[in-house]
Every structure is written in structure tokens, then in C-alpha cells.
Structure 1
Amino acid sequence: MNNLIYGSYGLLGFELGKWFLEMGESVFHINIGDEFENKQKLEEKQLLFGRNSNFKEIDRMEKMEPIEGKSRVIVPFIDWERFGEGEKKKIIDRLRTHLHIQWQNPTFFFILILLKRDNFEDLKRDFPFLFSESKRLQTIIVPENDRKEPLEEEKEVEIIPLTREIITVIESEKPGDHTVTHMLML
């Protein structure tokens, strides 16, 4: 199985990428906003992934070679919640173009991971093509925790229970909306 992860250096994207690599699956990191990540953590993650032959890094400006076989396109929107509004807008604009191209491949299954249901309507507006064929789309909603202020930067957090729950949903390959019970504890 191929896994195209938009932002596999983010908090959840990284954990998902690690899991798929440990399972012997291919992971394609698509840089959609790496310049907004913490530089030191980004370098550490690049070193960890770079040693695995099943990992390939693709810049959003590169022309992607066709990917053969069944593939998941994973977009962890939740990883960009800590970014400023301007940064989020840039990422959405980049994704709009990229995801439309990926949508042309009928073997791709799309997985969107969101923090709270509020973002759902925005996605329908920004990516209407994704919602036109619901049998190829899985949305995973992560409940919002009680944090009162936006997260300035990625911190060390306990993400393993949430990651396992999300992977269970992803591997079910059931389209539609899914709400997990674990929160991202920050």
C-alpha cells in the first residue's frame, strides 16, 4: 500500500508515517508547509525517515511520477491548527491544486483528519470535488481538548492512543465520517 501524506513531518503526520513504514508500506511525504514547522524538529524527523528505503520526499513544486497500485492520500489538517491564519491559507491554496490533481487517479482513497467538526463545512467549500464521490473519502474528526490558547509550537505530547485509533479507522477503509474518542492532549 502507498501512503501519500501531505505533511508527514507534522505531529500526527509523522506518527502515521512511522507506523506505515514499520508495517513495510511506502510513504510519500509531500511538502505542503514544511517551512512553517520548527526547523530543529523538522531536521530530526527528516533524519529518521530518510534512512528508510520505503520513504520518498516530494516537494509540492515537483511533478509527481505516477504512483502504481492502491494508494491512500492522507491530509492531517489537525497538524496545521497551531499555524497562523496566513500560513493556513497558504496551505489550503496549495492543497486545492494538489488534491485536485490526485483526485484524477480513481484508485486513490482520501483521508482527511480534522480537529473538530467546525472545519468540515470549510472543507466542503474549499474542496468540493472531494465530496462529489463519497465512496473514496474518509473524514476523521478528533475531539477538541480544553486548551484555551493556540499552540505556539509543537510540544512533546502523548499521541500513541490517538494514533492507534486513527490507524484503525484508516485501515478499515470505510468511507464516510468517523469521530474518534481520544483527544490530542496538548
Structure 2
Amino acid sequence: MDRVIIYGTYHFLGFSLCEKLLDEGIQVCGFRLSEEISEDFLEEKKLLIGRNANFEEKMVGSEAVTFMEDSLKSDMIIVISFYDIYYSIDEYPFLILEKILMNINKQYSDVKVIILFPTDFIEDIPEAVNRQFNHLKENEFRIQKIYIPTVFGPWQPSVFLFQQYLLKEFLNAEPKLDKRETTSDAIFIKDIIDLIIKLMKSNEMNDYLIQSNSSGQWFKGAEHLKLKLATNKLAINDLTASGTVNIIKLKESISIIDGLEQQKRHLSRLFQV
């Protein structure tokens, strides 16, 4: 794996993945989804990766990636972080995904495409998007779907409850659980990024549902932060894999308490406290 295209490169998973790949010396082209879609701490992120010689930035709908032109197609992996799209816009996120898939289908062929989904969509993908998946498969693209629960740690977006609580100190806003947030599980950002890269390097093309090795992680985090939630938000979704989707139980490298403290320290640095 020498070259990677990331759609959603300045969002949570997309940025963390991009930063890790660049650290490993891998060439990355990062596509921004739209100037109208909010990207938390955009300027700070650009300072961290924008000057890297292995990084190229483009906007969705722009021309094909220049550093790919003379390379073997099989060298390339495309990562679409629909996870980030879903948590960044309130309405019609699948229209963005459909546009990206059409863009890929026009410009490339015979490459591996990895799509990062929230766990909510393990059985709920619109027909229009499935049609685009089928078009890609007809053109010999290799499609892999990875379903991911709530992810926490540095750069977590403010749509998530943990980040809202930690931001209270700086922005004086009242935390509110968003209807999109998955409370069934929580995984630290470094752990999920390391796993995604491992799957990127693998020749296997299975679809995966990622779960923490320890149960109740999200609620442990909420308890540590002393969050008060309405009772109707406390139901845990028992997600199970079916068909061709396999479960990966991910062993955490850090406790959720230590991970949240790391997230808090990161925010303090951003706000220079």
C-alpha cells in the first residue's frame, strides 16, 4: 500500500487516518467534501498535515489525483469516511456518498474501496447507494464496508456528547445527546485507526462490524463525566452481524477514562489553556 485517497480528510476519522498514514510515509490525497460542510478546527489540522510532501488536497468533483497518473491501479486504496459525513450534516448525507461513488466510478477502476459506516447502517443503506455499489463492482472495484460505533479521543467532533461536555469549560454550552450518536459502544480513536490500517493492508475483502472487547464502554465514559441523560436515551442497541458481515472484538489499548482525559488535554492545548 503506497497511495491512499481519503474522502473526508479533515473530519474526525478521515483526519486521524490521514495523519497516521503520512507518519508511515504513505502518499495521501485528501478530498474535502464541501466548503459548506463544517470541519472542526480546520486551520489547526491544515497546519499539521498541509506542508507534508506526501499530502495532496482536493475538493470532491475536481480532477483525478495527479500522483496516481503513472502508478499501477492496484497500488491504490480509496477510503470514504461516510461515518464523518453522517455526523457532519443533518440532512441527506447519502446524497454526498452517492456523489462520491459516482465520482470514483468515472475516474478510476479496479481498486480497493473501503467505506467507513456508523453501526446504525449495517442493515439500512438506501437503494440509490446500493446501485452505485453495484456499478463499482461491475467495474471490478473491490468494496469493503467497516461499521464503527461511537469513537472518542482527540479531534472528536462536537456533535458527540463527550466532546460537548469537555467543551463546556471553553464554550459554556449545555451538552445534549444527538439522536445520531450510538450509545451501545465506544472505541478510542487510535485503536480504530490502527485496525482500519491493518484491514487496508490485508488482502481480505470481508465486511466488518467493530465492537469493543469490553461491554458498556460508552456508559462508562458517561458515568466518568457524570453526564445526566434522559432515561429514553439509555437503551443499548444489541448489534449483531449477519450474512457476510463479521464481528471484530477490538481490545482497547487505553481505558475509556484515560482516553477521555487525553481528549480533555488535547482540547486544552487547542484552546491554549
Tell me the residue number matched to 2:195. 165
Deviation of 1:126 after TM superposition, in Å, equals 4.2
| Pairwise CA distance, 1:150 | 3.8
How many pairs does the alignment contain? 178
Q: What corresponds to 2:34 in structure 1? A: 33
Partner SS state of residue 47, structure 2: helix
The 1:180–1:138 alpha-carbon spacing in structure 2 relative to 1, beyond 3 Å, is same
**Which structure has more RCO (C-alpha within 8 Å, separation ≥ 6)?**
1
Shift of 1:134: 7.3
- Matched residue SS, 1:37: coil
Residue 84, structure 1, aligned to residue 90, structure 2: yes
The residue that corresponds to 2:259 in the other structure is none
Q: Deviations over 1:115-151 (max 9, x none)?
A: 1203445532343223447771211111468x75246
1:79 deviates by 0.7
Q: Distance in 1 between matches of 2:76 and 2:45?
A: 23
Unmatched tracts of structure 1, length 5 or more: none
How far apart are the structure 2 equivalents of 1:135 and 1:174? 14
Residue of structure 2 equivalent to 1:105: 109
> For the Cα contact (< 8 Å) 1:138–1:174, is it kept in 2?
no
Find the counterpart in structure 2 of residue 62 from structure 1. 62
Normalising by the residue count of structure 1, what TM-score does the alignment of the two structures yield? 0.79
- Paired with 2:150 and 2:137, the residues of 1 have a C-alpha distance of 23
Checking the alignment, whether the CA contact within 8 Å between 2:109 and 2:140 is kept in structure 1 is: no
Q: Is the 8 A contact 1:25 1:54 kept in 2?
A: yes
Distance 1:17 1:180, change over 3 A: same
Q: Which deviations, in whole Å up to 9, do the C-alpha atoms of 1:93-134 show, x marking residues without a partner?
A: 4213212124x432x211111112034455323432234477
Tell whether 2:45 aligns with 1:45: yes
Aligned alpha-carbon RMSD (Å) = 3.1
Cα distance in structure 1, aligned partners of 2:117 and 2:140: 17
Per the alignment, residue 181 of structure 1 pairs with: 211
Task: Please give the secondary structure, in 2, of the residue aligned with 1:181.
Answer: strand
Match of 1:140, as an amino acid? I
SS at match of 2:9: coil
Q: Structure 2: how far apart are the matches of 1:176 and 1:132?
A: 18
Shift of 1:158: 4.0
User: Which secondary structure does the structure 2 equivalent of 1:8 belong to?
Assistant: coil
Within 5 Å, give how 1:114-125 maps onto structure 2: 114-116=117-119, 117-120=122-125, 122=127, 123-125=129-131
Identity across matched positions, percent? 24
> Over residues 53-102 of structure 1, what are the superposed CA-to-partner deviations in whole Å (9 max), with x where a residue is unaligned?
0000012243225512310000011111221114x254134213212124
Preserved contact between residue 109 and residue 141 of structure 2 (Cα < 8 Å): no
Structure 2 CA distance, aligned partners of 1:61 and 1:135? 19
Shift in CA distance, 172/13, structure 1 to aligned 2, threshold 3 Å: same
The CA distance in 2 between the partners of 1:95 and 1:172, in whole Å, is 24
Q: Residue 130 of structure 2 aligns to which amino acid in structure 1? A: K
Output the CA distance in 2 between the equivalents of 1:178 and 1:134: 21
2:79 is matched with which residue?
74
**Given the superposition, is the C-alpha separation of residues 43 and 151 from structure 1 closer, same or farther in structure 2, using an over 3 Å criterion?**
farther
Q: Which consecutive unaligned segments of at least 5 residues does structure 2 have?
A: 152-160, 162-176, 182-186, 222-273
Paired residue secondary structure (1:111): strand
